[in-house]
């Protein structure tokens, strides 16, 4: 039996753990540069604030209903996600971390799903403060549908393909099925398939012939035949990218190089976290697509002499790329660095037959920085090239403290 546990309104819930005054109030969390609503409390949803709504379009609702507006605090959300997943892994042997706020679990068929579901929800809430929904089913797809029902009812739910659950499947739009996107949903509706029940009755061979093997698997899963086992070992990443839009448009080359240093520092850290090295860097910069200017997209591909996750090497090449394509007439809105052709960092690299011996190994500065930043918060120690001034970076006027990852922002309690 599979279960899908999903954190309710995750970003908002993370904020409420440390701001109990926000409980029962309408809250929205904004995207980078305080642009759009990317998370909404249930109270905010009831006000008609849609997902992805630009802040300037909903200011009247924010003002009228006193909606709490918060900037994204990804440092907090990432750490809280890790805490939730650790709790789940302590309670269940088989856990697949599916996203920052979702995980699939696998149990023996003999469990009492209602009791186990409520126990898990209460335990996660007690240990982390995060409310969750949990759905059970004989397949991942049915567990996902049960999770939708759990969100609506506020209790653990179960769905399978037996007649007792047919009404639920009939009342579930085909667009709500995991793996069915907008275009595929439109195409299925043109074939007379409007609900999860309709798709369950479809012939799997017809689904594969007219669509693909993924749709065939969905049909089989809706019929209770598990086609997607748990992924207990995460696949190695094929690429890692660090990119941000600037709050203000940049025409200063030194500022762009400082941004490249910061992104290169973060990229190298992520490579080491995943025990990988890169052989190729892709660096780019572009102007804004929303200012009516002629589109500009500058790019450079750097093939490295050997696989690396060394911070200094990555920053050096990233800054050289900026130097090579910089145009003082362009107002840069965004730059990014992508590492591709990744290799396992634990595997010894190949060397040329007549390669000269390298000098004595330098002190492992990266290891020291990683240790300190993990203990005291990301960016506590960083290369000098990253600079101090960050006015050009993202606008986050409503950002809450990094309560769990920065000693300087720990909650202070004073006794009277």
pLDDT value at position 302? 94
Residues 123-139: pLDDT tens digits?
999 999 999 999 999 99
Residues 383-412: pLDDT tens digits?
888 877 565 566 667 778 878 877 677 777
The CATH architecture to which 240-346+362-386 belongs is: 2-Layer Sandwich (3.30)
Residues 71-91: pLDDT tens digits?
988 889 999 999 999 999 999
Residues 264-301: pLDDT tens digits?
999 999 999 889 999 999 999 999 877 778 889 999 99
Average pLDDT for the chain: 88
pLDDT value at position 43? 95
28, β-bridge pairs: 40, 69
Which tokens is 121 given?
A: 């929800």
Residues 190-205: pLDDT tens digits?
999 999 999 999 999 9
pLDDT value at position 360? 45
Lowest mean pLDDT among 118-127, 149-158, 214-223, 289-298: 289-298
pLDDT value at position 389? 59
Confidence of residue 352 (pLDDT cuts 50, 70, 90): low
Averaged over 318-328, what is the pLDDT? 93
Alpha carbon distance 13, 8 (integer Å): 7
The answer, yes or no, to whether residue 359 has pLDDT greater than 50, is no
Half-sphere exposure of residue 113, counting CA atoms within 13 Å on the CB side?
Answer: 25
pLDDT value at position 143? 96
Half-sphere exposure of residue 317, counting CA atoms within 13 Å on the CB side?
Answer: 27
The answer, yes or no, to whether residue 215 has pLDDT greater than 90, is yes
Residues 161-185: pLDDT tens digits?
999 999 999 999 999 999 898 899 9
DSSP helix/strand/coil, 88: helix
Q: What is the CATH number of domain 81-222?
A: 1.10.150.20
> Where do the structural domains in the chain lie, given as residue ranges?
3-76, 81-222, 240-346+362-386
CA 129 vs CA 24, 357, 382, 383: distances in Å:
15, 55, 32, 36
pLDDT value at position 354? 55
Are 204 and 220 a contacting pair, CB within 8 Å?
A: yes
The answer, yes or no, to whether residue 156 has pLDDT greater than 50, is yes
DSSP state of 392: T
Residue linked to tokens 């840069």: 332
Nearest to 242 by CA among 228, 262, 222: 262
Averaged over 236-246, what is the pLDDT? 85
Measured in degrees and rounded to the nearest 5, phi and psi for residue 170 equal: -65, -30
pLDDT value at position 145? 96
The percent of residues above 90 in pLDDT, for the chain, comes to: 66
Q: How far apart are the first and last CA of the chain?
A: 53
CA 87 vs CA 84, 103, 123, 242, 273: distances in Å:
5, 11, 8, 29, 21
Alpha carbon distance 261, 269 (integer Å): 12
pLDDT value at position 50? 92
CATH class of the domain defined by 3-76: alpha beta
pLDDT value at position 147? 96
The answer, yes or no, to whether residue 363 has pLDDT greater than 80, is no
């Amino acid at each position: 039996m599979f279960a899908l546990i999903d954190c309710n309104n995750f970003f908002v819930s993370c904020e409420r753990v440390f701001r109990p005054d926000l409980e029962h109030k309408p809250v929205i969390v904004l995207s980078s540069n305080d642009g759009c609503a990317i998370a909404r409390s249930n109270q905010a949803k009831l006000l008609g604030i849609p997902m992805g709504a630009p802040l300037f379009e909903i200011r009247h609702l924010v003002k009228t209903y006193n909606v709490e507006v918060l900037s994204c605090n990804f440092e907090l959300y990432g750490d809280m996600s890790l805490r939730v997943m650790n709790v789940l892994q302590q309670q269940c042997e088989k856990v697949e971390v599916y996203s920052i706020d979702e995980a699939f679990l696998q149990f023996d068929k003999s469990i009492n799903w209602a009791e186990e579901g409520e126990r898990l929800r209460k335990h996660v809430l007690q240990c982390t403060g995060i409310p969750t929904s949990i759905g059970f089913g004989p397949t991942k797809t049915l567990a996902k549908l049960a999770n939708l029902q759990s969100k609506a009812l506020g209790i653990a739910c179960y769905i399978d393909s037996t007649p007792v659950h047919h009404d639920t499947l009939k009342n579930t739009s085909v667009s709500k099925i995991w793996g069915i996107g907008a275009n595929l949903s439109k195409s299925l509706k043109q074939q007379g398939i409007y609900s999860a029940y309709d798709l369950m009755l479809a012939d799997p061979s017809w689904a594969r012939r007219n669509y693909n093997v993924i749709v065939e698997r969905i049909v089989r899963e809706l019929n209770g035949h598990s086609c997607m086992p748990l992924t207990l070992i995460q696949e190695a990443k094929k690429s890692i990218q660090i990119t941000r839009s600037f709050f203000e448009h940049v025409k200063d080359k030194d500022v762009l190089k400082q941004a490249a240093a910061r992104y290169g520092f973060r990229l190298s850290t992520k490579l080491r976290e995943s025990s990988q090295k890169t052989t190729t860097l892709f660096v780019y910069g572009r102007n804004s697509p929303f200012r009516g200017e002629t589109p500009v997209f500058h790019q450079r591909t750097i093939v490295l002499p050997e696989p690396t996750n060394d911070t200094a090497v990555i920053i050096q090449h990233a800054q050289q790329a900026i130097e090579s394509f910089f145009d003082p007439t362009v107002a840069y809105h965004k730059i990014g660095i992508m590492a591709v052709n990744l290799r396992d960092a634990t595997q010894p690299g190949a060397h040329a037959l007549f390669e000269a011996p390298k000098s004595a190994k330098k002190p492992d500065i990266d290891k020291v920085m990683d240790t300190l930043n993990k203990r005291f918060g990301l960016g506590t120690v960083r290369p000098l090239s990253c600079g101090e001034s960050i006015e050009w970076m993202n606008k986050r006027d409503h950002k809450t403290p990094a309560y769990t990852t920065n000693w300087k922002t720990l909650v202070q309690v004073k006794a009277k």
